[in-house]
Amino acid sequence: MEELDGDEKRLSFGGKYASRDIVQFVELRRHLGQRGGQHSQALLAKDVLAEIPQQLVSWMRTHGYQPRPPTVQGPLNTYGLE
């Protein structure tokens, strides 16, 4: 699995290099059975989604889009409850 992850080096096949790393590996065993179901699920989701913002920004820059500056917001309600 590690050889498919391009975190350490740019991947290539047949002399053609990948333009960016879009593969994210997370050790599922590390999250199983930790402190209960919801907590484990939240940690797993956090690790799985960690690289998506950078992948999106990379794609946008490659295609000539400039990301907007971040907006300042109040505290984020993780569970969608008021």
pLDDT digit string (tens) for 47-72? Answer: 888 878 888 888 888 899 987 888 87
Please report which helix (H) or strand (E) contains residue 69, including its range: none
- The model's pTM: 0.50
- Structure confidence at residue 65 (pLDDT): 93
Cβ atoms 5, 21 nearer than 8 A? yes
Of the candidates 40, 24, 43, the residue with the CA atom closest to the CA atom of residue 32 = 40
Parse the chain into domains and list their residue ranges. Answer: 2-62
Of the candidates 10, 6, 21, the residue with the CA atom closest to the CA atom of residue 55 = 21
| Mean pLDDT confidence for 29-42 | 76
